[in-house]
């Protein structure tokens, strides 16, 4: 018995393009009708059932049916959704048939080996047990020396980031410091920072620092390097001593007003 697939592929770009001119009620009806068709196979044609399935008035449902569905025996269907169903069934059947192909068992494969090959395998296994391989050392990248960093310039860039994108967590502060250092080392251009900040200003996302990170990774400068590896090499931010406040100047004495 073939198991019914519980989900179907949702093409976000096509859906947005096809529903851009639709009312919110029509978009709601459209997605609920697609889900109902995937589960039941066909959308009913009775107005009362359609309103109960979609939760919107029949006038909106009818617009969706006329534009995106076709009448079939028993109700309505979206042709593209049925094409997606057919593709999924074909892939599932191909996978099921591929899994049924019998492969020779390990014991049968060992029995077919020649005596010389069996002897060689035995010697190799004995040597492997007596001389276990040593672990391969993991190569580590050299960290950046703090003396290589132009501290004043890095702090200036960090302040620029904070002015346009106030930090919320310690991770935000760490990311800003690392980006500023990478720019001072000339590994990334200063436009890399300003373009990413401009993207946040234009889009105004709900999670600005997450979107800022995405812009950094997608920039052409980051495509030529490994941004995560470069950030991992940046040392900790040094503690910068606060400048002492300027000395207070002595106040001039207040003039004494004499009564006439």
Euclidean distance between CA atoms 157 and 233, whole angstroms:
18
Domain residue ranges in the chain: 12-85, 146-233
Q: Tell me the pLDDT band of 64, cut-offs 50, 70 and 90.
A: very high
Q: Give the orientation angle of helix 170-184 with respect to helix 190-203, to 10 degrees.
A: 140
C-alpha dist (Å) from residue 220 to 22, 188, 223, 224, 233? 36, 10, 5, 7, 21
Q: What is the pLDDT of residues 47-58, one digit of tens each?
A: 999 999 999 999
Most confident among 101-105, 130-134, 183-187, 225-229 (mean pLDDT): 183-187
Q: Is the pLDDT of residue 82 over 70?
A: yes
* Averaged pLDDT for residues 37-41: 89
Burial class (CB in 10 A: 0-12, 13-18, 19+), 14: exposed
- What φ, ψ does residue 15 adopt, rounded to 5°? -65, -45
Identify the architecture of domain 12-85 in CATH.
Answer: Orthogonal Bundle (1.10)
Per-residue tokens: 183: 């720019």
Per-residue tokens: 128: 């492997």
Contact between 83 and 94 under an 8 Å Cβ cutoff? The reply is no
Q: Cα–chain-centroid distance for residue 214?
A: 8
* Averaged pLDDT for residues 23-36: 91
Q: What is the pLDDT of residues 148-198, one digit of tens each?
A: 678 888 889 999 999 998 998 888 889 999 999 888 888 888 888 888 898
Contacts of 62 (CB under 8 A, 6+ apart): none
**pTM of the entire structure?**
0.40
Most confident among 52-66, 131-145, 194-208 (mean pLDDT): 52-66
Per-residue tokens: 25: 């009620």
| Alpha helices (H) in 41-169, listed in sequence order | 47-54, 58-68, 79-100, 106-111, 115-130, 151-164
The helix or strand, by DSSP H or E, that contains position 198, with its residue range, turns out to be helix 190-203
Q: Is the pLDDT of residue 95 over 80?
A: no
């Amino acid at each position: 018995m073939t198991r019914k697939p519980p989900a179907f592929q949702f093409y976000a770009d096509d859906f947005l393009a096809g529903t851009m001119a639709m009312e919110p009620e029509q978009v709601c009806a459209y997605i609920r009708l697609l889900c109902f068709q995937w589960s039941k196979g066909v959308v009913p044609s009775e107005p009362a059932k359609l309103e109960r399935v979609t939760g919107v008035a029949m006038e909106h449902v009818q617009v969706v049916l006329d534009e995106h569905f076709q009448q079939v025996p028993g109700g309505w269907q979206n042709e593209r959704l049925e094409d997606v169903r057919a593709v999924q069934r074909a892939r599932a059947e191909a996978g099921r048939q591929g899994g049924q192909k019998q492969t020779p068992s390990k014991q049968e494969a060992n029995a077919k080996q020649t005596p010389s090959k069996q002897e060689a395998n035995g010697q190799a296994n004995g040597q492997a047990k007596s001389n276990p391989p040593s672990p391969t050392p993991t190569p580590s990248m050299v960290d950046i020396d703090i003396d290589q960093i132009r501290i004043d310039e890095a702090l200036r860039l960090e302040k620029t980031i904070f002015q346009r994108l106030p930090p919320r967590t310690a991770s935000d502060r760490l990311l800003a410091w690392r980006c500023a250092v990478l720019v001072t080392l000339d590994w990334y251009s200063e436009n890399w920072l300003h373009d990413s900040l401009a993207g946040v200003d234009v889009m105004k996302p709900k999670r600005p620092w997450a979107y800022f990170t995405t812009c950094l990774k997608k920039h052409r400068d980051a495509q030529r390097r490994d941004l995560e590896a470069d950030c991992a090499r940046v040392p900790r931010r040094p503690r910068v001593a606060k400048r002492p406040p300027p000395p207070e100047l002595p106040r001039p004495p207040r003039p004494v007003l004499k009564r006439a």
